[in-house]
Amino acid sequence: MQLILMGPPAAGKGTHAAELVKKFNIPQISTGDMFRAAVKEGTELGKKAAECMKSGALVPDEVTVGIVKERLAKPDCSNGFILDGFPRTVEQADALEKILSDSGKKLDKVLNIHVPAEDLIERAVGRRICKTCGATYHVKFNPSKKDSVCDNCGGELYQRADDNADTMKNRLSVYEASTRPLIEYYKKLGKYTEIDGRQPIGKVTEDLVKVLSSVKN
Ligand code: ADP
Ligand code: ADP
Ligand code: ZN
């Protein structure tokens, strides 16, 4: 099953991708996670991505498409994948169509988690992530049992450097200008389904699974 999980910054893509990974046993491919790992390791890719991420701008398309192409060629993607945070521009979407058609694959579904702009800053600013296992929490909407400690693994929770109100404003305007047009793009391809992301986490997951149960493997 080849899926895209779309949505504005902090809509819940990562949270729900993690649930779908468990349910459907296909990998989550998060360009944001890949860039953060590269920044941490100090690789060439990390150097290219760091400045853009800090300001909330997009990493250039050719860089982003390159890492996704490499990732999709790995054997664990042969039964499907969940793209989380990619594509974010029409150019990336076109490149993805080409990558897939070159390997005889096609997209099954594009799921858009819809959350209104006024909720997104609070979601981002309250987001906390485990340093060890990457689990995502929210100080108000999905708190860990013990402050700053991961329920899964006991790891320390941190706040992403770009999860502040200023950078978020920029990320939201980048979303409006560059990523929102993908809604029309995928509607035209007949692959688009919107999910109400304002519901509690468990209900959003349930709605996603319901849509996907009609998709053939
Ligand atoms: P994205 O990957 O789209 O940036 P995340 O999955 O990291 O978003 O979620 C952003 C923040 O919002 C996290 O702190 C997460 O715990 C919280 N969150 C996710 N889904 C919901 C929801 N349905 N209701 C309330 N908070 C949510
Ligand atoms: P969120 O969904 O919460 O905005 P991500 O982790 O998906 O966060 O992305 C963090 C940052 O990484 C983005 O603001 C951007 O700088 C970069 N990034 C992630 N995915 C892409 C992409 N597909 N194209 C360009 N830049 C990206
Ligand atoms: Zn953890």
DSSP 12-80: SHHHHHHHHHHHH---EEEHHHHHHHHHHHT-HHHHHHHHHHHHTPPPPHHHHHHHHHHHHTSGGGTT-
The confidence score (pLDDT) of residue 177 equals: 98
Whether the full predicted model's pTM is greater than 0.95, yes or no, is yes
**85 CA to centre of ligand 2 in angstroms:** 6
Cis peptide before 87 (omega within 30 of 0): yes
**132 CA to centre of ligand 2 in angstroms:** 20
**22 CA to centre of ligand 1 in angstroms:** 17
Instruction: Tell me whether residue 171 is one of the annotated catalytic residues.
Output: yes
Rounded Cα–Cα distance for residues 33 and 14 (Å): 9
For 156-194, write each residue's pLDDT tens digit: 999 999 999 999 999 999 999 999 999 999 999 999 999
Instruction: Tell me whether residue 13 is one of the annotated catalytic residues.
Output: yes
The confidence score (pLDDT) of residue 185 equals: 98
For 108-126, write each residue's pLDDT tens digit: 999 999 999 999 999 999 9
The confidence score (pLDDT) of residue 72 equals: 98
Instruction: Tell me how many degrees the CA angle 27-29-34 measures, rounded to the nearest 5.
Output: 130
Rounded Cα–Cα distance for residues 174 and 162 (Å): 14
Rounded Cα–Cα distance for residues 26 and 7 (Å): 20
For the chain, the helix, strand and coil percentages under 3-state DSSP, each to the nearest 5: 50, 15, 35
User: Is the Cβ–Cβ distance between 71 and 29 less than 8 Å?
Assistant: yes
Q: Which of 160, 169, 180, 198 is catalytic?
A: 160
The confidence score (pLDDT) of residue 35 equals: 98
Rounded Cα–Cα distance for residues 151 and 157 (Å): 10
The confidence score (pLDDT) of residue 215 equals: 85
Give every CB contact of residue 140 below 8 A, 6+ residues apart in sequence: 122, 126
Mutate to test the pocket of ligand 1, among 112, 129, 136, 152 (most ligand atoms within 8 A of CB): 136
The confidence score (pLDDT) of residue 151 equals: 98
The confidence score (pLDDT) of residue 206 equals: 97
Phi, psi for residue 113 in degrees, rounded to 5: -85, 110
The confidence score (pLDDT) of residue 217 equals: 56
Decide whether any atom of ligand 1 lies within 6 Å of the 2 Cβ.
no
Q: pLDDT under 50 in the chain at which residues?
A: none
